[in-house]
Amino acid sequence: MFIVQNYSLAILCCFITMLCWGSWANTQKLVTGKWRYELFYWDYVIGILLFSLIAAFTLGSWGSFGRSFLPDFRQASWAGIGSAFLGGIIFNLANILLTAAIAIAGMSVAFPVGIGIALILGVVINYMGVQKGDPLLLFAGVLFVMLAIILNAIAYKKAAISSSRASTKGILLSIAAGVLMSFFYRFIAASMDLNNFVQPEPFKMTPYTAFVVFAVGILASNFIFNTVMMKRPLEGPSLSYKTYFSGKLSLHLVGVLGGAIWGIGNLLNLLAAGKAGPAVSYGLGQGATLVAAVWGVLIWKEFKNAQGKVTGLLAGMFACFIVGLILIIISGA
């Protein structure tokens, strides 16, 4: 299977993760007004699972390193499978809330607040699990990210007030999503042998196998979580599965593409965790907040009516995010 064998390549993978995790929500924005986010989310989940299977049977099965997908799955312990599956359930609930927050408040708010919180708590949780990296630099970077989140929240409130759209629902959903999101990665990491992907410990899984189990957990839990969201939506009338199956193929494909984009980032992040450590790998991947904020501010013009003071707050947010991410990178070198 393909594995990451040095720290430089691991950092490159984390940057690609950052781009993927910060960009998948553009597919949701593309169908906004045509396709409710609850319906989009079904295709997004299917896209994650499809990509995980394709990756497992190709990159995860070719070559002489490590165990290929099917033998690896057969030897995995039930504890490891359960851990990755639980990670998928936790991620799914968090991501549904994040998707709702994007629909209500936009990418430039939902990501910096929600994923920023996930970055802060997730780095702490993953560092406690595997203490890899300089803690002083690592947590200094986290503090700068925290400051960026605060600046973004202030900017959002000011912009909302100035445009008569003041609402705390978007921020509250983002916070709830961020807290939940901080826990999922640790469960996937616990199912893998992070010290040796070439000859993994017996009963542990490779990143490819763990990703497939994780994706199955997402899909299985979606029959509960997203069904509830469809029947009792946060905004708008309730939806039926008939509406989903009557949707245009082009709308379904956009959602599947969004899931595949997220999946690429997730797989590369899991592969990078072996060399960078889960705290650094996860922390850099969740730098997606910066990418999403750039999309939201510059491309989707989510703050187009904002006044000068709001623009200054956004500039400060970007600066703090950049400093924080640099410190996180240095911490693991």
Q: CA-to-CA distance for 58 and 299, rounded, in angstroms?
A: 35
Is 319 part of any domain? Answer: yes
Q: What is the pLDDT of residue 162?
A: 46
Q: Mean pLDDT, to the nearest integer, of 8-17? A: 91
Q: Is 205 helix (H, G, I), strand (E, B) or coil?
A: strand
Q: State phi, psi for 192 to the nearest 5 degrees.
A: -115, 160
Is 1 part of any domain? Answer: no
CA distances from 329 to 9, 138, 153, 199 (A): 12, 8, 25, 27
Q: What is the pLDDT of residue 160?
A: 61
Is 150 part of any domain? Answer: yes
Q: What is the pLDDT of residue 305?
A: 67
The tokens for 93 are 């609930």
Q: Mean pLDDT, to the nearest integer, of 101-112? A: 76
Is 98 part of any domain? Answer: yes
Is 144 part of any domain? Answer: yes
Q: What is the pLDDT of residue 76?
A: 96
Q: Identify whether the C-beta of residue 274 lies closer than 8 Å to the C-beta of residue 66.
A: no
Is 2 part of any domain? Answer: no
**What is the average pLDDT value for the chain, to the nearest integer?**
87
Asked whether the predicted pLDDT for residue 70 surpasses 90, the reply is yes
Asked whether the predicted pLDDT for residue 105 surpasses 80, the reply is no
The terminus-to-terminus CA distance of the chain in angstroms comes to: 25
Percent of the chain with pLDDT over 90: 47
Q: Confidence class of residue 91 from pLDDT cuts 50, 70 and 90?
A: very high
Asked whether the predicted pLDDT for residue 186 surpasses 80, the reply is yes
Report the range of poorest mean pLDDT among 86-100, 156-170, 188-202: 156-170
Q: What is the pLDDT of residue 154?
A: 78
Q: CA-to-CA distance for 198 and 217, rounded, in angstroms?
A: 26
Range of the domain at 158: 7-332
**Higher-scoring residue by pLDDT: 80, 106:** 80
Asked whether the predicted pLDDT for residue 203 surpasses 90, the reply is yes
Asked whether the predicted pLDDT for residue 192 surpasses 60, the reply is yes
Q: What is the pLDDT of residue 166?
A: 36
Count of domains forming the chain = 1
Q: What is the pLDDT of residue 280?
A: 85
pLDDT tens column, 206-265: 999 999 999 999 999 999 999 999 999 887 899 999 999 999 999 999 999 999 999 999
**Higher-scoring residue by pLDDT: 166, 141:** 141
Q: What is the pLDDT of residue 321?
A: 85
Q: Confidence class of residue 163 from pLDDT cuts 50, 70 and 90?
A: very low
Q: What is the pLDDT of residue 108?
A: 67
Is 273 part of any domain? Answer: yes
Residue spans of alpha helices (H) in the chain: 7-23, 25-31, 37-57, 69-75, 78-105, 107-110, 116-129, 135-162, 169-190, 207-231, 241-245, 249-276, 278-285, 288-294, 308-332
Task: Tell me how crowded residue 307 is: count the other CB atoms within 10 A of its CB.
Answer: 11
pLDDT tens column, 287-319: 777 787 778 777 777 677 666 778 888 889 889
Q: What is the pLDDT of residue 312?
A: 87
Q: Identify whether the C-beta of residue 110 lies closer than 8 Å to the C-beta of residue 21.
A: no
Q: What is the pLDDT of residue 222?
A: 96
Chain position carrying tokens 């500039």 = 315
Is 220 part of any domain? Answer: yes
**Higher-scoring residue by pLDDT: 128, 245:** 245
Q: Confidence class of residue 164 from pLDDT cuts 50, 70 and 90?
A: very low
Q: CA-to-CA distance for 90 and 233, rounded, in angstroms?
A: 20
Q: What is the pLDDT of residue 111?
A: 73
Burial of 241 (0-12, 13-18, 19+ CB in 10 A): exposed
Q: What is the pLDDT of residue 306?
A: 65
